[in-house]
Amino acid sequence: MKMKNLFEKISELNEGWAIYQTYGREGGDGWQIEKDDESNKFESDGQAIKHVYEQALIGCSVHIEALEFMRSNASAVEFFYMCKSITTL
C-alpha cells in the first residue's frame, strides 16, 4: 500500500520525473528514477535524479521517501548509478 501512495504523490507533484520498474537491465530487475520524456522538464535521467536529491536535502518529504524507496528497492547497480549522477552533474 505504501508503494502506491508514493507513486501517487510523485504523480501529483508533476515535476517531470517518476520511479519506474525495470526489467532485464544490467544488475537485474528493479527500480529507477527517470525523467518523464513527455514533460521535457529534464534533459536526462541524471538531472531528474539530482533534482530529487536536492529537494530531499531541503526537506521535501516526497523526495525523501523516493530516495528511501530507492535505497531499499533498487538494484545495487542502479543505486550506484543514482549516486554517481548526483555527484557528477
Q: How far is the first Cα of the chain from the last one, in angstroms, to the nearest whole number?
A: 34
Take residue 72 and report the three cell numbers written for it: 531499499
Residue indicated by cell numbers 549516486: 83
- Residue 20 in domain: no
- Residue 22 in domain: no
Q: Are 29 and 38 in contact (CB under 8 A)?
A: no
Mean pLDDT for the chain? Answer: 87
Please give the tally of structural domains in the chain. 1
What does the alpha-carbon distance between residue 89 and residue 9 come to, in Å, rounded to a whole number? 26
pLDDT of residue 42: 96
- Residue 49 in domain: yes
More confident residue, 48 or 82: 48
What would the pLDDT profile of 6-20 be if each residue is shown by its tens digit? 999 999 999 999 999
Give residue 54's domain range. 2-14+31-88
What would the pLDDT profile of 25-45 be if each residue is shown by its tens digit? 665 668 999 999 999 999 999
- Residue 19 in domain: no
